[in-house]
């Protein structure tokens, strides 16, 4: 789900089965081996201490862990099912894998052996994280649910965070106060929760800041052709970072909208307040973006570059200024398939609504006609 990860002295991006790791002086390109021509890297992540880099692949179902800065392969696993999201544990010694069958697996990269199953949903899992205090595993799925499970005894469910009307594709702890969870959804909203109580505190409707009825209408027409009813634009990409002890910055990309929404969220005694500061123009809809060290790194997979925007905070106003542009895969001519969040990908996340009443009534009339 992510195609860029950023850490201390490293920018790593993916394209097809290639990883370009840039240390601000050299590019090191890794090629993941696979016998399937349709295979690709589907997610990439750095450990919080920047000691390890991990990726998963789609059809060959590989989980590969590299040591940094040497980029030597530390571990390689074959997942039982296709993974949809990976995260390192808060301590960086374990990897949590959310797969498309609804299971969460845990791999201890300091020991030998395969992963163990921690918990399961009855729906496709889209995201997973461990809280900073290591007490909870939080998972989100296609069926609008966010589950908070106790750790390590994950059979004990602390609570559910319920309120989204479509799939929940991003979950992140609020950086300036990790007692709160943030989530984004296909319903176009960002929600803020007390995750130990399952209580919703605040919600931002991003469409109010886009206000493009034509864009929404075109998206709805495309979706209804496949029997999917939608009434808003889904959030595709999301990133958060801490500004100070009472404020965090959010970056949001909404489907087919070629601007990144930049918000601030302030908290004070369980009260929330947000402000839209900027609509950041981008030449292409981004493949992914990440905050790191007071900068926003935006990956354009079409042109294989990363634009770095510096966060400026002056007189309670937040703005982003372009710092530099880094060309990735500079010495490699790739015939890679660009895998952006395209229409086919987003359609798979929506549930189709079937109306078989009309078919039943027609069969009933036919039976009565034979009497």
Q: Binning pLDDT at 50, 70 and 90, where does residue 139 land?
A: very high
For range 233-241, the mean pLDDT: 97
Q: Is the pLDDT of residue 207 over 80?
A: yes
Q: Binning pLDDT at 50, 70 and 90, where does residue 344 land?
A: confident
Reported as a single tens digit per residue, the pLDDT across 151-175 is 999 999 999 999 999 999 999 999 9
Q: In this structure, what DSSP letter does residue 1 have?
A: -
Specify the higher pLDDT residue, 43 or 333: 43
Q: Is 356 exposed, middle or buried (0-12, 13-18, 19+ CB in 10 A)?
A: exposed
Q: Give, in order, the Cα–Cα distances in Å from 22 to each of 27, 42, 212, 298, 370.
A: 5, 19, 38, 15, 74
For range 184-206, the mean pLDDT: 98
For range 264-275, the mean pLDDT: 96
For range 87-103, the mean pLDDT: 96
Q: Binning pLDDT at 50, 70 and 90, where does residue 349 land?
A: very high
Q: Cβ of 316: how many Cβ atoms within 10 Å?
A: 9
Q: Is the pLDDT of residue 340 over 70?
A: no
Check residue 354 and give its pLDDT.
61
* Geometric angle at alpha carbon 21, from 126 and 67, rounded to 5°: 80
Least confident of 41-50, 317-326, 358-367: 358-367
Check residue 49 and give its pLDDT.
93
Q: Is the pLDDT of residue 334 over 80?
A: no
Q: Binning pLDDT at 50, 70 and 90, where does residue 361 land?
A: confident
Q: Is the pLDDT of residue 141 over 50?
A: yes
Percentage of the chain beyond pLDDT 90 is 85
Reported as a single tens digit per residue, the pLDDT across 281-312 is 999 999 999 999 999 999 999 999 999 999 99
Q: Is the pLDDT of residue 337 over 60?
A: no
Q: Is the dihedral of CA 262, 248, 239, 46 positive or negative?
A: positive
Check residue 237 and give its pLDDT.
97
For range 176-198, the mean pLDDT: 98
For range 190-210, the mean pLDDT: 97
pTM: 0.92
| DSSP string for residues in 147-193 | EEEESS-TTSEEEEEE--SS-EEEEEE-TT-TTEEEEEETTSEEEEE
What is the separation of C-alpha 96 from the centre of its chain, rounded to a whole number of angstroms?
14
Half-sphere exposure of 28 (CA within 13 A, CB side): 13
Least confident of 50-59, 211-220, 285-294: 211-220
């Amino acid at each position: 789900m992510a195609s860029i990860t950023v850490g201390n002295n490293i920018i790593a991006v993916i394209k097809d089965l290639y990883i370009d790791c840039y240390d601000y002086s050299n590019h090191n390109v890794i090629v993941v081996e696979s016998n399937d021509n349709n295979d690709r890297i589907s997610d990439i992540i750095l450990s919080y201490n920047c000691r390890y880099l991990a990726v998963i692949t789609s059809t060959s179902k590989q989980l590969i862990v590299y040591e940094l800065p040497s980029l030597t392969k530390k571990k390689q696993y074959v997942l039982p099912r296709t993974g949809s999201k990976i995260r390192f544990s808060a301590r960086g010694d374990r990897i949590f894998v959310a797969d498309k069958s609804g299971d969460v697996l845990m791999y201890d990269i300091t020991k030998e052996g395969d992963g163990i199953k921690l918990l399961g949903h009855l729906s496709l899992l889209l995201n997973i994280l461990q809280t900073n205090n290591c007490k909870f595993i939080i998972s989100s799925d296609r069926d609008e649910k966010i589950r908070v499970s106790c750790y390590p005894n994950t059979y004990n469910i602390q609570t559910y965070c319920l309120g989204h009307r479509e799939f929940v594709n991003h979950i992140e702890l609020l950086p300036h106060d990790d007692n709160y969870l943030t989530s984004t959804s296909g319903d176009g909203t960002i929600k803020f929760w007390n995750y130990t109580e399952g209580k919703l505190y605040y919600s931002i409707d991003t469409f109010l800041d886009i206000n493009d009825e034509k864009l929404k209408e075109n998206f709805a027409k495309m979706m209804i052709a496949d029997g999917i009813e939608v009434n808003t634009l889904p959030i595709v990409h999301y990133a958060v970072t801490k500004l100070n002890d009472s404020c965090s910055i959010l970056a949001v990309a909404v489907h087919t909208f070629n601007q990144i929404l930049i918000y601030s969220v302030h908290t004070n005694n369980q009260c929330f307040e947000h402000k839209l500061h900027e609509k950041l123009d981008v030449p292409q809809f981004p493949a992914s973006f990440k905050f790191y060290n007071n900068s926003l790194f935006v990956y354009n997979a079409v042109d294989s570059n990363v634009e770095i925007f510096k966060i400026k905070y002056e007189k309670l106003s937040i703005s982003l200024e372009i710092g530099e542009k880094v060309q990735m895969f500079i010495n490699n001519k790739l015939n890679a398939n660009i895998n952006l969040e395209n229409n086919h990908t987003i359609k798979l996340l929506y549930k189709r609504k079937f109306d078989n009443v009309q078919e039943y009534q027609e069969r009933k009339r036919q039976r009565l006609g034979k009497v």
